[in-house]
Copies of this chain bind each other. A is one copy, B any other.
Amino acid sequence: MIDENGVVRQKRTVFFVSDRTGITAETLGHSLLTQFDLDFEQVTLPFVDNVERARKVVEQVNRISGNGAPKPIVFSTVVQDDVRLLLKESNSAFFDFFDAFISPLEQELAMSSSHAVGQAHGQGNTQQYSDRIDAMNFALNHDDGVTTRQYDKAEIIIVGVSRTGKTPASIYLALQYGIYAANYPLTEDDLVEGRLPRILQPYRGKLFGLTIKPDRLQSIRSERRPNSRYASLQQCQMEVMRAEALFRREKIPFVNSTNVSIEEIATTMLHQSGLKRRVY
């Protein structure tokens, strides 16, 4: 980019360096970067788990600062001391998550940390892996009301009109938290009758509503079926209004998905319904 004085300015490069997946480094770094109104060039370097790889990272970082670009920023979650210390020598603004927190935590817990690599997003134990897979299969099999046979096994049943985001919310709950989440669409018939579908009535305590602003719903539905009655603003308004009235009358908690991310929807549901996540 070119600034007001006609000087070409390069984006600041940010590296997320990890000895494993890089997910923790990305999450933390990204969370900090969003506090600054700047564009960054973001590079994730996972699996940096030995000195040789660390050297390559240092070369890559130094090549950038060597070119006269602004000094890169490095967010590191690397645990191994030899790798960390090498990375720290790079010509960068170096943010070391491990270093910042581990020694105060060791003090507080009055014990040494294991310095074991990449525990955070490793498989952990096979049980957790199976729990996630089972929950995900449950979500896929119980998507969009296709089958309702195992609703007694569901921990949450997400209800809402078509295209409010029920599927991603269910899958996120399954994949991230191991929650058994089904979802069930409210049809026009249900809405006109103004009653909970009979199949849902025994599971009232598990229901969680999803709603959305009618104009956003219109634009999502229009991508799918342009100029249809289904995608008309009038239809969307009617469905949303009746669905929300139903939620209120039946005392079903609900969340509006209009300006929130999949994570926020899922976290809100988890939090408000008091469900306990099965996976960390």
A260 to B118 alpha-carbon distance, docked (Å): 11
A124 to B263 alpha-carbon distance, docked (Å): 12
Do A120 and B34 form a contact, CB below 8 Å, given A100-B100, A101-B95, A168-B136?
A: yes
B-contacting residues, A229-244, CB 8 Å: none
**Minimum distance in angstroms from A46 CB to a CB of chain B:** 6
Is A73 in the interface zone, CB < 8 Å from B?
yes
B-contacting residues, A18-45, CB 8 Å: 20-24, 26-28, 30-32, 34-38, 42, 44
Interface membership of chain A positions 77-116, coded 1 if the CB is closer than 8 angstroms to chain B and 0 otherwise = 1010000000000000101010011101100110101111
Which of B30, B97, B102, B175 is in CB contact (< 8 Å) with A175? B175
Cβ A108 vs Cβ B73 within 8 A: yes
Is A69 in the interface zone, CB < 8 Å from B?
no
Which of B20, B42, B101, B259 is in CB contact (< 8 Å) with A264? B20
A38 to B30 alpha-carbon distance, docked (Å): 29
**Minimum distance in angstroms from A36 CB to a CB of chain B:** 6
Is A119 in the interface zone, CB < 8 Å from B?
yes
Q: Which chain B residues border A101 with CB–CB below 8 Å?
A: 28, 32, 95, 100
A35 to B114 alpha-carbon distance, docked (Å): 5
Cβ B114 vs Cβ A36 within 8 A: yes
Cβ B263 vs Cβ A35 within 8 A: no
A262 to B171 alpha-carbon distance, docked (Å): 14
Taking Cβ atoms with an 8 Å cutoff, the residues of A that contact B are: 12, 20-24, 26-28, 30-32, 34-38, 42, 44, 46-47, 71, 73, 77, 79, 93, 95, 97, 100-102, 104-105, 108-109, 111, 113-116, 119-124, 129, 132-133, 136-137, 140, 143, 165, 167-168, 171-172, 175, 259-264, 267-268, 271, 280
